Amino acid sequence: MNNLLETPIEYLKGVGPARGELLRKELGIHKYGDLINLYPNRYIDRTRYYRINELQNSNSEVQIVGKVVNIKTVEQKRGKRLVATFTDNTGQMELVWFQGHKWIRENIKINVPYVIFGKVSSFNGVFNMAHPEMELLTEHEQSLRSAMQPIYPSTEKLTQRGITNKVVNKIMQQLFIETQALFKETLPANLLQELALIPKNAALFNIHFPKSQEILAKAQFRLKFEELFFIQLQLITKNLIRKHKIKGHAFDKVGDMFNGFYQNHLPFELTNAQKRVLKEIRNDMGQPAQMNRLLQGDVGSGKTIVALMSMLLALDNGFQACLMAPTEILANQHFSGLSELAKPLNLNIKILTGSTKTSERKIIHEELENGTLDIIIGTHALLEDKVQFKNLGLAVIDEQHRFGVEQRSKLWKKNEIPPHILVMTATPIPRTLAMSLYGDLDISVIDELPPGRKPIKTVHRYDSNRLKVWAFLKEEIAKGRQVYIVYPLIQESEKMDYKDLMDGYESISRDFPLPQYSVSIVHGQMKPAEKDSEMERFAKGKTNIMVATTVIEVGVNVPNASVMVIESAERFGLSQLHQLRGRVGRGAEQSYCIMMTGGKLSNDSKVRMDTMVRTNDGFEIAEVDLKLRGPGDIMGTQQSGVLNLQIADLVKDREILQMARHFAIRLLKDDPNLNRSEHAALKHTFIELTKKKNIWNYIS
């Protein structure tokens, strides 16, 4: 049977070469198996037949059984319309056509029962239906037609070329006739029983031709569970293989570096969350298998110190460590932060980026190879072939979603035994997404802020309140604080945004005049050196206000800046708003985030503003963001392919995903290699799916 599903689509009766080519190009349907997995987007419920006296003026689609008793042409201002009187035993209504008169007149049978279907509207108290779908009652009763009518995904081109929903429906029926719906069961019997899942056969048939809402729900549940279950099996297997097969250095020594730093040089007491995460990392690195851990923590939750202490473990065991960041600004910031923290330890720490001078590079390369360089921090420059380590024991990767899989694997290849990997991100990823995107990594979360940090107060103000906001800024500056004012910069309207920024800068300079106030500006069209010097002046407290586009989103740390004003906040996404807010609140003072918007807001914008005002919790914000934007957007385009899901939806089907993960873990604990006879079909499907390069290769 499964070989039949490999048949090229043009061989299906009713398709042929021309339609086959279109289906391939437009919907990626190459063979029978692809067509079966083209699931409907929605369904029209045709389980119910209305009587004419039950009709409402609700503009909804209904079907009615009755007869056409007469038909006439009515002249109107422009052209003619064809009007038929349609009756059942409760009343009468009109059917109207504005084109195709000749064909309709010739083909409609008078006084013969029809089933009509379409949108009903009422005009002068008479119900009418324009261009109804009509089918003789006798044919209607014979066709393999589900009462719930499926509406399939389509494209403009398909519709233009005559591949309508009706046509797709027809070839789908043909497919089930040819394959006789003999689909192999893929899940083990005990799982079907425990979860009361309907068989694969029934699920596929009923997703395309459901007889009722109830059976449709069962079919959807079964197919969603199966899809998510196989993804989780794949991810968990990967994780297990890694732990058993990929050798790693066992750092069994906790030595002077780690202990000395912990006992004598910690700048502040670690939070419980930091201690818990460090313990997880120490456990992993103590095993002779490669660690792959994702460290999530909000802006300012203290990931850097966890990274440093993990690096010290590597040094204690005679290894080197590296930290890779996506931008030069971030690499520089990590470099200054880590150098400062590690000063009392006399470590050799250097930085390597695109702008490192050739003479310095030479020294760095030599010291890395002879092992005298302990920690190297850098950008993509670390991946160059010239960069060779004596013995790299730990690689920390910051903001991992900006690095591709191939880039990361380059780091591994620099050693016979791959280094332990710690991936850090300040972009909180909702649990659901984390389970799917990073299901093969172990996840650690720092979910509390260091002591002494006051939560940032966030408010939403309309442009009409600007005077009050400015008065507040003046009070804060009088207390010696500094202020960010951020403008959106969206590529498409760059010129307009640049103008907004410049207008804003001018009016701010007027409202906050010299010599009492001093205003900096940073934007994308400045030369890097100019940007750096403006940032520097602000960081040293020489200017009170920094007017900027989102370039400051990643990277600036000015503890004295206590107010973040976000202009046109409705134009920012939630995660961006949250990242911007994280630029303040870094000192001991109370900090504020003020989101300014115009008076007219869309519903989504309102939800975003309310969420920001309500909570500082990055994970909660990420959950709302996921609901508003969907999974593809959150990961950025280069990774949206991750979620090529055919039927499941990560936002709506969170519970099913958690269930699928739970059962996948249980099954693999029980039978890690799927060798038991009752798992034979499961194993076969699993191997087939792994061959298909659909989703797995996106997931590192």
Of residues 409 and 293, more confidence is placed in 293
Say yes or no to pLDDT of 423 above 70: yes
Q: Is the pLDDT of residue 590 over 60?
A: yes
Element of type H or E holding 594: strand 592-597
The pLDDT score that the predictor gives to residue 408 is 66
- Number of Cβ within a 10 Å radius of residue 205: 19
pTM higher than 0.85 for the full model?
A: no
Q: Who wins on pLDDT, 652 or 482?
A: 482
Residue identified by tokens 């010291």 is 367
> Domains in the chain and their CATH numbers?
47-144 (2.40.50.140), 256-285+301-425 (3.40.50.300), 457-615 (3.40.50.300)
- The pair of structure tokens assigned to 264 is 């004598």
DSSP state of 184: P
DSSP letters, 629-656, are: H-HHHHT-GGGGGGG--SS--TTTTHHH
Q: Report the pLDDT value the prediction gives residue 62, as an integer from 0 to 100.
A: 87
Q: How far apart are CA 500 and CA 1, in angstroms?
A: 63
Using the CB atoms, write b or e for 138-155: b if 16+ within 10 Å: eebeeeeebbbbbebebe
- How far apart (Å, rounded) are the C-alpha atoms in residues 6 and 95? 45
Whole-number Cα distances in Å, 514 to 485, 519, 543: 18, 9, 11
Q: What is the average per-residue pLDDT within 346-352?
A: 96
pLDDT band at 389 (very low <50, low <70, confident <90, very high): very high
Contact present, 564 and 594 (Cβ < 8 Å): yes
Distance CA 538, CA 545 (A): 8
- Whole-number Å distance between alpha carbons of 411 and 397: 10
Q: Is the pLDDT confidence value at 400 over 70?
A: no
DSSP letter for each residue of 146-178: -SEEEE----HHHHHTT--HHHHHHHHHHHHHH
Take residue 356 and report the two structure tokens written for it.
């490192």
pLDDT at 16 over 60: yes
State the average pLDDT over residues 164-178: 93
Cα→Cα distances 472→124, 467, 476, Å: 60, 9, 6
3-class DSSP assignment, residue 267: coil
Angle among Cα 528, 534, 540 to the nearest 5 degrees reads 130
Strand partners, 263: none
The predicted-structure confidence for 595-615, as pLDDT tens digits, reads as follows 999 999 998 999 999 999 999
Q: pLDDT value at position 650?
A: 76
The helix/strand/coil state of 108 is coil
- pLDDT of 485 strictly over 50: yes
Look up residue 13 and give its DSSP letter. T
Token pair 């009170």 is at which residue? Answer: 544
Token readout for 53 is 């006296």
pLDDT tens-digit series, residues 428-475: 777 777 777 677 788 898 988 777 778 899 999 999 999 999 999 999
CA distance 623 to 82: 53
Over residues 216-244, mean pLDDT: 90
Q: pLDDT exceeding 90 applies to what percent of the chain?
A: 55
Contact 446, 526 (CB under 8 A): no
Is 50 exceeded by the pLDDT of residue 695?
A: no
What are 284-339's pLDDT values in tens digits?
A: 999 999 898 989 888 778 899 999 999 999 999 999 999 999 888 788 889 988 99
Instruction: Concatenate the DSSP letters of all residues of 368-391 into one string.
Output: HHHT---EEEESGGGGSTT---S-
Contact 239, 439 (CB under 8 A): yes
Quick one: average pLDDT of 145-155? 81
C-alpha to C-alpha distance for 549 and 488, rounded to whole angstroms: 6
Which of 21-30, 237-246, 573-582 shows the lowest per-residue confidence on average (mean pLDDT)? Answer: 237-246
Sequence-ordered list of residues with C-beta below 8 angstroms from that of 445, at least 6 positions apart, any chain: 273, 277, 295, 296, 297, 619
Q: Which two tokens mark 26? A: 């437009």
Angle at the Cα of 158 from the Cα atoms of 153 and 163, rounded to 5 degrees:
90
pLDDT band for 677, please (50, 70, 90 cuts): very high
Q: Residue 574 — φ and ψ, nearest 5°?
A: -60, -45
Q: Is the pLDDT of residue 581 over 70?
A: yes
Quote the CA–CA distance of 622 and 484 in Å, as a whole number. 24
Counting every residue written for the chain, the total comes to 700
Classify the C-alpha dihedral 680-685-688-690 as positive or negative. negative
603-608 long-range contacts, Cβ below 8 Å, gap at least 24?
604/628, 605/570, 608/569, 608/570, 608/572, 608/573, 608/574, 608/577
pLDDT of residue 141: 83
Cis peptide before 515 (omega within 30 of 0): yes
Distance CA 423, CA 320 (A): 17
Residue 347 DSSP class: -
d(CA 535, CA 540): 9
Q: What is the mean pLDDT of residues 349-363?
A: 94
- CA-based nearest residue to 575, from 423, 396, 401, 327: 401
d(CA 218, CA 207): 9
CA 282 to chain CA mean position, Å: 31
Measure Cα distances from 142 to 50, 121, 136, 146, 150 in Å.
Answer: 20, 29, 10, 11, 18
pLDDT tens for residues 172-219?
999 999 988 778 899 999 999 999 999 999 999 999 998 887 899 999
Q: For residue 269, give the 3-state DSSP assignment.
A: coil
What residue type is 624 in one-letter code?
A: V
pLDDT single digits (tens) 542-564: 999 999 886 554 456 788 999 99
What is the pLDDT at residue 242? 77
How does residue 144 score in pLDDT terms, banded at 50, 70 and 90? low
Asked whether the beta carbons of 31 and 132 are under 8 A apart, the reply is no
Number of H helices, E strands in the chain: 25, 21
- Residue 482 phi, psi dihedral angles, 5° rounding: -120, 160
What is the enclosing helix (H) or strand (E) of 531? helix 528-539
CB 354, CB 379: distance < 8 Å: yes
Asked if pLDDT for residue 498 goes beyond 70, the answer is yes
Within 8 A by CB and 6+ apart from 332, the residues are: 351, 353
| Three-class SS of 208-231 | HCCCCHHHHHHHHHHHHHHHHHHH
Three-state SS string over 435-460 comes to: HHHCCCCEEEEECCCCCCCCCCEEEE
